[in-house]
């Protein structure tokens, strides 16, 4: 049941001594997915009350700089905890064992789609109320005296 409480879409802010970045992370039933403009994220996580462990992988999807670890593809082992609508974690990647990784995830609230406004009946059009053209420019029109409703 706890996994369901932590499932959702998170805005991620992460950093190492080499740099920092942001992305979107989806947590669902023990699986991690997401990405940023250059990398796709994947992996898994396990919960124990408010604490968790995770394995996070990255895969390049577009040209650009390397990850904050200095490598395109990494597998990081993370530990962390949930605090309200935030998750805070840290760890290292096998490919860069001396580079400490820290991340903060912020749960994104689902946007409520507003209910459609009530439909009102269309207004009746009374064309006799429209401005009149000068009489010399006006052709005989049988509709000018009719109401459309």
Assess if residue 18 is contained within a domain.
Answer: yes
* CATH number (domain holding residue 93): 2.40.128.380
pLDDT at 1: 33
CA angle, corner 31, sides to 90 and 43, nearest 5?
Answer: 55
Assess if residue 101 is contained within a domain.
Answer: yes
Q: For residue 107, is pLDDT > 50?
A: yes
- Please indicate, yes or no, whether the overall pTM of this predicted structure exceeds 0.75: no
Assess if residue 94 is contained within a domain.
Answer: yes
Average pLDDT, the chain: 84
Assess if residue 80 is contained within a domain.
Answer: yes
Assess if residue 148 is contained within a domain.
Answer: no
Domain count, the chain: 1
pLDDT at 4: 40
Assess if residue 113 is contained within a domain.
Answer: no
Express each pLDDT in 55-100 by its tens digit.
999 999 999 888 898 888 999 999 999 988 899 999 999 999 899 9
Report residue 101: phi and psi, to 5°: -110, 135
pLDDT at 2: 42
**Once rounded to an integer, what is the mean pLDDT over residues 14-37?**
94
Assess if residue 44 is contained within a domain.
Answer: yes
pLDDT at 41: 95
Domain residues for the domain of 24 are 2-107
pLDDT at 144: 58
């Amino acid at each position: 049941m706890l996994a369901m409480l932590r499932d959702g879409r998170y805005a991620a802010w992460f950093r190492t001594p080499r740099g920092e970045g942001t992305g979107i992370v989806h947590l669902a039933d023990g699986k991690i997915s997401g990405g940023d403009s250059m990398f796709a994220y994947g992996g898994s996580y396990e919960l124990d009350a408010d604490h968790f462990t995770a394995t996070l992988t990255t895969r390049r999807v577009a040209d650009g700089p390397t990850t904050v670890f200095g490598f395109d593809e990494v597998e990081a082992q993370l530990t962390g905890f949930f605090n309200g609508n935030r998750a805070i974690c840290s760890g290292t990647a096998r490919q860069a064992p001396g580079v400490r990784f820290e991340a903060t995830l912020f749960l994104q609230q689902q946007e409520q789609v507003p209910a459609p406004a009530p439909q009102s009946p269309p207004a009746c059009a009374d064309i006799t109320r429209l401005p009149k053209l000068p009489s010399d420019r006006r052709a005989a029109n049988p509709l000018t005296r009719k109401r459309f409703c």
